Amino acid sequence: MQFHYFDHNATTPVSPEVLRALMPSLAEVYGNASSIHHFGQLAKQHLETARRQVAALIHCNATEVVFTSGGTEADNLAILGTVRPETPGTTQHVITTAIEHPAVMNTCAQLEREGVTVTYVPVGASGIVDPDAIRRALRRDTVLVSVMHANNELGTVQPIAEIARFTRPAGVCLHADGVQALGKIPVDVQALGVDLYSMSGHKIYAPKGVGALYVRKGTRIHSIGFGGHHERERRPGTENVPGAMALGRAAEWVQENLAGEAERLGALRDRLERGILARIAMAGVNGVEPRVPNTSNMYFEHVEGEALVIALDLRGFAVSSGSACSSGAVEPSHVLTAIGLTPERARSSIRFSLGHSNTAEQVDALIDAVADAVGHLRKISPVTHAHA
């Protein structure tokens, strides 16, 4: 049986282009980038090349890029590194949304345990936050606003540039979790007006274990770890040079191919949704435009999402019932309940996220598999019979 991968928002396979850059680096670029001898300086050169490649993708200066172990660390560094250094004893306030990734939600929860006040702005049925709601939540003691650029479950794109119009004049730091936007839509941190922007390699066909944080020049941020003086005092620890090189090559590929790939994936995503809605009753799409082009979150009444994920896996298709970082949770997705779905509908939803390898033929086969699996699960569902 052939297997087809439709879970690229969880992680992406390492691309051939990235693999060709990564493999020699593991064998040949083994020096410590902090060492002053030949091997160390060779590693340093490759590290700085990768930094420039990432910077070029998001339109910033290379000195504003901090390499991390991934999106979660980048989010933690952005949030904790901005809020914790504030003068002890002063009141501090953070604003975020109700649909953030656990890397942001749980970091904000930790700040609350440390005495920081956090406002979680609702988003409504659209899955998109109202910039004016962010403006109304601003207070004199607000030190940070953190809003994701694109939602990992819905794909909805948040109005970051509009939010920046309120935060910048107020002198409030603006962080965007860009993990699910990078590589899917154009990212220009200058146009967005953000002070901090989180990125992850394994979402753009680089390996797991490497990411980056954009830190706008002049932004006050402190390291949240302790060690050496790496990454301009912002992130201690010997740099993952091969990982950075892989991320740099992935960023370079995205810059060269984004427009065409986004158009292709958007057409495939629309084909998938149209095909499913034409074949299956009592189904629909969660979230509205604008969305990243590769993501579709759909509900199927009287079907358990987890059961549908398993049924599709048995038919050779990998999909997801929500955020991979919170899989195994008994509670329905906090994102889907935040946009007003009942727990039952939230549990009946699954996410399709497309990528480089997906084709129209695979999409058509997936439509057939979803129709077959939903039909079978509804036949054996006691809920369906109760409503018959």
Which sequence positions are flagged as catalytic?
A: 325
- CA separation for the pair 351, 152 (Å, rounded): 9
* Selection from 54, 107, 102, 118 nearest residue 81 by Cα: 107
- CA separation for the pair 72, 374 (Å, rounded): 34
- CA separation for the pair 118, 13 (Å, rounded): 36
Name residues whose C-beta falls within 8 Å of residue 182's C-beta, 6 or more positions apart in sequence.
Answer: 57, 58, 199, 200, 203, 204, 254
- Which two three-digit tokens encode residue 90? 């002063």
Given a contact cutoff of 8 angstroms between Cβ atoms, the answer to whether 86 and 154 are in contact is no
- CA separation for the pair 272, 194 (Å, rounded): 34
The owner of tokens 């049925």 is 125
| HEC secondary structure over 320-377 | ECCCHHHCCCCCCCHHHHHCCCCHHHHHCEEEEECCCCCCHHHHHHHHHHHHHHHHHH
